[in-house]
Amino acid sequence: MKNNRIILDQTQLELAIQRLCYQLIENHNDFSNSVIIGLQPRGVILAKRIHSELLKITSNSSIPLGSLDTTFFRDDFRRRDSPIIANKTQIDFIIENKKVILIDDVLYTGRTIRAGLDAMLAYGRPDLVELLVLVDRRYGRHLPIEPNYIGTTIDSISSERVEAKWLETDGVDEIILKENTK
């Protein structure tokens, strides 16, 4: 545990979310043609935070928010010992011709985002897709995927793991870098 390093504490996290919201507003104006989709499981919490912050800041009171599970679209199926257990997908709107803001907590290899892009297409052909991540782990990408909005960027080695803790699920808001013990 002594090797854990806090990347973002509660205040820094709040500031990062605020900044990301204002960056989104610069590109999406009043969000009249934009939708937000959080990737299950951990991206959904961040998506909810950003969504509620945007509702406070903008005049738009109905920005569509959905959660997307990528399990059945992953490329590592049958390459693990156990099946990956799915989470709930809830998208009550069609993304045809919409600007989609895809949200996840940590971007590393890019494989989850690749699966998310595939999974998303079941709900229509979007006009544009952007990616927002809280933590961008550089130099770890397996695929040509880059985020449009970044909370913070870190350089880490593969034996390390970034863990986002949320008040809603873990009782504390912080992003930490851990030495992987496995």
Partner 1 sequence: MEKLSTRHLLGIKELSKADIELIFSTADNFKEVINRPIKKVPSLRDITIANLFFENSTRTKLSFELAEKRLSADVINFSATASSVTKGETLIDTVNNILAMKVDMVVMRHPNPGAHAFLSKHVDATIINAGDGAHEHPTQALLDAFSMRHALGDLAGKKVVIVGDVLHSRVALSNIHCLQKLGAKVMVCGPPTLLPKYIASLGVEVSYKLDEALEWCDVAMMLRIQLERQGGDENSGVKFFPSLREYHNLYGLTMSRLNKLKKVPIILHPGPINRGVEISSEVADSKHSVILNQVENGVAVRMAVLYLLASGSN
Positions that interact with partner 1 (CB under 8 A): 69, 71-73, 77-90, 94, 118-119, 121-124
The nearest distance, CB 82 to partner 1, in angstroms, is: 4
**Which helix (H) or strand (E) segment is 5 a member of?**
strand 5-8
Task: Please state, in angstroms and rounded to a whole number, the distance separating the CA atoms of residues 101 and 82.
Answer: 31
Task: Starting at the earlier edge strand, list the strands of the sheet with 174-179.
Answer: 5-8, 174-179, 160-165
Residue placing its CB nearer to partner 1 in the complex, 54 or 95: 95
Residue placing its CB nearer to partner 1 in the complex, 56 or 79: 79
Q: Is the torsion defined by CA of 41, 20, 147, 8 positive or negative?
A: negative
Question: Which candidate, 115, 152, 145, places its Cα nearest to that of 131?
Answer: 145
Residue placing its CB nearer to partner 1 in the complex, 66 or 147: 66
Task: Please state, in angstroms and rounded to a whole number, the distance separating the CA atoms of residues 26 and 170.
Answer: 32
The nearest distance, CB 36 to partner 1, in angstroms, is: 19
Residue placing its CB nearer to partner 1 in the complex, 64 or 124: 124
**Side chain identity at residue 82, one-letter code:** S
Residue placing its CB nearer to partner 1 in the complex, 50 or 129: 129
The first and second tokens of residue 5, run together, are 């390093």
